[in-house]
């Protein structure tokens, strides 16, 4: 049992492989022992082959890697094993997973296409308007679906700097507002998509994400110069983030009724031959450098919902 989700937008690819629970003791008891879950270092050969048609253009041997223990629960937290590579993947290739048990000769295989780059509509300005002329405004984030991508998880990342007025310390922080998952019917790409972020909901999101404190002053900005300078030196403040899942990821999440693109085990859907698990792809993408416009910043600082959070405005 195991899973792997390839993502050419990150530095390291990981495949996780568990043993089947075939011991004489109960699965619960065996799960407490890391040696009962993971294979020994020399026990498996794990490869990725990148193919274009019938031609193999990339041959990657994955490394046996010890990682930090799992979260507490039924499974052992002693350690975990992942098979990794830092070799760059090619979005034009189809990737085949090949796992060989050296002791038994058992071979497990699967394959997946990579999710293609996401085309996000930049709009006519970098400004984001959530408040104007005395009323809340919705912001519409638009993009075209990616080839081989079926499920989309957009999010808004809100950056802010906090200054402790007692110590003078300035710290950059952020909070994320996740939008509900969205599906497309076809994995062919180029389908117009849109996420609508409510203006009033935005200010409630900030209100609920931060604590009131008279000793803290805040600025909505991704970058500052020289601590808390004039607003001319505030840069950014809003990024839009995406996680796009491939066809197998979409099926896995839909069948297991999961709230996001984070995997849990065991899977009830599998696309692994001679094994159980999932092998698919996903893509992280972002639109960075957006910022609240003047009136939206003013509402953040003086509006009824967020005035006690001590945001400064231009």
- Rounded mean pLDDT, 265-293: 88
The answer to whether residues 207 and 108 belong to one domain is: no
Residue 123 sits in the same domain as residue 109:
no
Domain end: 71, 86, 114, which one?
114
DSSP string, 107-160: EEEEEEEPPPPPEE---S-SEE-SEETTEE--EEEEEEPPTT--EEEEEEEEEE
Residue of higher predicted confidence among 283 and 255:
283
pLDDT of residue 106: 94
| Model pLDDT, residue 29 | 41
Do 136 and 219 lie in a common domain? yes
pLDDT at position 258, please? 60
Average pLDDT value for the chain = 88
**Domain match, 194 and 298 both:** yes
Task: State the pLDDT confidence band at 22, using cuts at 50, 70 and 90.
Answer: very low
Please check whether residues 38 and 104 belong to one and the same domain. yes
- In this predicted structure, which of 151-165, 177-191, 203-217, 227-241 has the lowest mean pLDDT? 227-241
Q: Examine residue 263 and state whether it is found in any structural domain, yes or no.
A: no
Q: What mean pLDDT do residues 114-125 have?
A: 94
Pair (100, 193) in one structural domain:
no
Flag whether pLDDT at 200 surpasses 60.
yes
pLDDT for residue 234:
81
Q: 70 and 173: one domain? A: no
In a domain, 16, yes or no: yes
State which of 114, 133, 154 marks the end of a domain.
114
Percent share of the chain, pLDDT over 70 = 84
Of 114, 144, 175, the residue at which a domain comes to its end is 114
User: Cα(68)–Cα(81) distance, rounded to whole angstroms?
Assistant: 9
* Structural domain count, the chain: 2
Residues 127 and 229 occupy one common structural domain: yes
The model carries a pTM of 0.86
What is the spatial distance between Cα 118 and Cα 116, in angstroms, rounded to a whole number?
7
Q: Say if 137 falls within a structural domain.
A: yes
For the cut 70, the answer to whether the pLDDT of residue 84 exceeds it is yes
Q: Which residue has the higher pLDDT, 106 or 257?
A: 106
Q: State residue 80's pLDDT score.
A: 82
Residue 79: per-residue pLDDT: 60
Boundaries of domain holding 87:
2-114
> Does residue 191 sit in the same domain as residue 108?
no
DSSP conformational letter for 215: T
**pLDDT, tens digit, for every residue of 38-76?**
899 999 999 999 999 999 999 999 999 998 754 444 333
How many CB atoms within 10 Å of residue 112? 22
pLDDT category at 21 given cuts 50, 70, 90 is very low
Same domain, 172 and 298: yes
* DSSP notation for 11-67: S-EEEEE-----SSS-HHHHHT-HHHHS--TTTEEEEEEEEETTEEEEEEEPEEEEE
b/e code 41-66 from CB counts within 10 Å (16+ = b): eeebebbbbbeeeeeeeeebebebee
Q: Cβ neighbours of residue 246 under 8 Å, at least 6 residues apart?
A: 5, 112, 113, 114, 115, 148, 149, 150, 187, 280, 281, 282
Identify whether residues 27 and 128 lie together within a single domain: no
- Lowest mean pLDDT of 71-75, 97-101, 166-170, 238-242, name the range: 71-75
In a domain, 259, yes or no: no
pLDDT of residue 15: 95
Q: Which residue has better confidence, 12 or 253? A: 12
């Amino acid at each position: 049992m195991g899973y792997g989700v390839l993502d050419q937008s990150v530095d390291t690819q990981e495949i996780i492989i568990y043993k089947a629970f075939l011991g004489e003791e109960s699965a619960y008891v065996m799960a407490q022992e890391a040696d009962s879950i993971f294979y020994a270092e020399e026990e498996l050969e794990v490869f990725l082959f990148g193919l274009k048609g019938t031609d193999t253009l990339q041959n990657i041997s994955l490394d046996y890697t010890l990682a930090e223990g799992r979260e507490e629960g039924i499974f052992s937290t002693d350690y975990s094993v992942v098979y990794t590579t830092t070799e760059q993947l090619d979005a034009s290739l189809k990737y085949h997973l090949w796992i060989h048990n050296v002791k038994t000769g058992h071979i497990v295989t699967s394959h997946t296409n990579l999710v293609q780059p996401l085309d996000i509509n930049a709009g006519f300005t970098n400004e984001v308007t959530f408040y104007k002329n005395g009323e809340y405004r919705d912001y519409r984030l638009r993009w075209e679906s990616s080839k081989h991508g079926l499920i989309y998880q957009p999010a808004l990342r809100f950056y802010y700097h906090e200054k402790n007025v007692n110590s003078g310390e300035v710290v950059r922080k952020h909070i994320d507002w996740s939008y509900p998952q969205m599906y497309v019917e076809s994995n062919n790409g180029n389908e117009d998509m849109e996420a609508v972020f409510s203006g009033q909901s935005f200010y409630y999101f900030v209100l609920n994400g931060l604590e009131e404190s008279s000793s803290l002053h805040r600025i909505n900005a991704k970058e500052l110069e020289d601590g808390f300078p004039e607003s001319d030196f505030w840069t950014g403040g809003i990024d839009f983030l995406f996680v796009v899942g491939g066809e197998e990821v979409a099926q896995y999440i839909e069948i297991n009724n999961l709230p996001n693109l984070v995997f849990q085990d065991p899977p009830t859907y599998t696309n692994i031959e001679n094994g159980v698990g999932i092998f698919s792809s996903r893509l992280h993408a972002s639109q960075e450098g957006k910022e609240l416009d003047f009136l939206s910043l003013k509402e953040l600082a003086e509006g009824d919902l967020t005035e006690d959070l001590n945001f400064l405005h231009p």
